Structure 1
Amino acid sequence: MQIAILGNQVSWYCDQLQQAARTRGHEASKIEFRDMAAFVNNNAREQFFSYDAEQTQISLPHFDCLIIRTMPPGSLEQVVFRMDLLGRLEQSGITVFNSPRAIECAVDKYLTTSRLAAAGLPVPATAICESSEAALQHFSQMGSDVVVKPLFGSEGRGIFRISDPDLAYRSFRTLERTQAVIYLQQYIAHPGYDLRILLLNGKVIGAIRRHGHNDFRTNVSRQGQAELYHPTDREVELAVQAAALTDAEFAGVDLLSPADAPDECYLLEVNAVPGWRGFQSATNIDVATLVIEYLEQKRNNKPTASH
């Protein structure tokens, strides 16, 4: 196969995928969103390109598979164009992994949380609004102890906990002035760790327990420590359902149990561009190779696409 890996050129994950693809006899190239373009006219089929460091055009339909390893911040126009382009590439016959439909849902915390809640799955009490006045009302209703998160974001970036009313007022006013959407969840006191279950094609690859490092956030990217964990049947059931609701074939599902109710479990996030560095070090599972093997199966079983 010819494989394109859409991500940061110096990313460890891109390197892992490229190495796994080449080991299995495939060609693998790295590209970035900023270098992608489309050309449309009324005399020919739509054309899709990327550009290398020398600004040489690379025809994207040359690739069989496009693995998405990033969804960087951008303006509304940039985000809409990226999602539209991924959708058009998929329609052209390229296997886009995860699918644009899954990426669109999983990068949007509101859409993910609302889908999970609508299906009856347990999520923390969550408020999403644009005005600081509404955010302050929800802050009070949630016991004046909340976690504020960016609507788009990952690896714990931009997340902070607020339990002081004055600080909440200033924070919400700042977010409102910057035209941000204010996303806040009721803080759940936990025993210092949460769970990450990694899934591929609806099946559990493995799971880890992540311990925070002097921080309520447990992300390994923020110095959290990962250890091998064997999830319960209930935890597996929730993770599989959550991944299916976001259409993510490759997903990292985060779960959290309250300190005072360890038998309960909340779904925190479904990540359709999941990291696995800490997971791999704790489980010794070669995730990149599993991804490439799965893409081989998808391409072998894929019907011919109409353009």
Structure 2
Amino acid sequence: MIFSMNRTDTTPRIGVLANDDSWYFHDLERAAKGVADVTRVDFAALQSRIGGPEKISAETLLSGKVEAIIVRSMPPGSLEQVVFRMDALAGLERQGVLVINPPKSMELAIDKYLSLSKLAEAGFRMPETHVCQTWQDAVAAFEQLGPSVVVKPIFGGEGRGIMRVDDPDLGHRVFKTLQQMGQIIYLQRFVPHPGYDLRVMVLGDQMWGMRRSSADNWRTNLSRGATATAETIPGEVAQIAQAVMRTLDLSIAGLDFLPDGEGGWYLLEVNAVPGWKGLSAACEVDIAAKLIEYVRERIACRTR
């Protein structure tokens, strides 16, 4: 154990990696009142001192001072910055700190190609996808996957950077532009959209369902104006969701499912830093309180 043996208080100390204006941090802070000490941690402030036992800090010392870290944001950065941030979280994990989600699981889920590759290998059903580096290969893939494809960034969320391409000439220009920008080209067969999809929030062995509907946009992200209502999770989807969580070793995640029109479901993607503002309202559940309770129980199990 890395924690002080003469510590007498039993209030868990939890760091939350979040932006300074994060609604989610303030929601966790509210939910933790009286049961946990919650402190905001800035990703850009993470640093490490090596030479003797490694000490990882972010303005204040984290090594030996917090029992858990909740990753609530994943800001963009250079390759070196992203790698170091994950390395620092892995260092805290080696020192006994509970990291939600684990760094290796975060790396899997954040990288759409890596996560879909692993999930496809495990037998999960998802739209046919092609990932390449040149516009010529993308044009060939479009001809095979078309007549309509969705082009996505490998990293990203909330529908940012996603576009539908159903015209070969437009696709040609889009693919060339992406290659010139040094981007990987990620194409996914467009699945006919029924006007809604299903977001499943999983936390440990609990889960909640939310239907996201949009009458005039195939992108059903709430940040783009979609409406949210509570939805009963079909048994098949619930089983898939728990199996995905085990496959990627996630503690909390948002999973997006799309009906195939024939009674089945496609798994679209897995979000390892899921928002819960809309889901909490739609399902009338305090997700922040559930998450704090989950972390406290995990800490207590380690202590015992």
The two structures have a TM-score, normalised by structure 2, of 0.93
User: 2:202 is matched with which residue?
Assistant: 199
Figure out how many residues of one structure are paired with residues of the other and give that number.
292
Deviation per CA, 1:69-89: give whole Å up to 9, x if none: 111111111111111111011
Query: In the superposition, relative to structure 1, how do residues 213 and 6 fare at CA in structure 2: closer, same or farther (>3 Å)?
Result: farther
Identity between Structure 1 and Structure 2 (%):
40
Give the secondary structure class of the aligned counterpart of 1:255: strand
Give the secondary structure class of the aligned counterpart of 1:49: strand
Is 2:7 the partner of 1:5? Answer: no
- Structure 2: unaligned runs, 5 residues or longer: 1-11
Distance between the aligned counterparts of 2:177 and 2:199, measured in 1?
32
1:224 to 206, 223, 226: 226
Deviation of 1:224 (Å): 1.1
User: 1:54 is matched with which residue?
Assistant: none
Q: Is the 1:207–1:228 Cα contact (8 Å) retained in structure 2?
A: yes
Deviation of 1:303 (Å): 5.9
Deviation per CA, 1:94-113: give whole Å up to 9, x if none: 11111112111110001111
Deviation of 1:237 (Å): 1.1
Q: 1:87-126 counterparts in 2 under 5 A?
A: 87-126=90-129
Deviation of 1:212 (Å): 2.2
Q: 1:107-256 counterparts in 2 under 5 A?
A: 107-201=110-204, 203-212=205-214, 214-256=216-258
Matched letter for residue 17 of structure 1: L
Deviation per CA, 1:118-140: give whole Å up to 9, x if none: 11110100011111111111111
Distance between the aligned counterparts of 1:286 and 1:18, measured in 2?
13
Matched letter for residue 273 of structure 1: V
- Structure 1: unaligned runs, 5 residues or longer: 52-57
User: 2:290 is matched with which residue?
Assistant: 290
Root mean square deviation, CA, Å:
1.3
Deviation of 1:23 (Å): 3.9
Give the secondary structure class of the aligned counterpart of 2:255: strand
Distance between the aligned counterparts of 1:32 and 1:215, measured in 2?
35
1:38 to 34, 48, 64: 48
The two structures have a TM-score, normalised by structure 1, of 0.92
Deviation of 1:14 (Å): 1.0
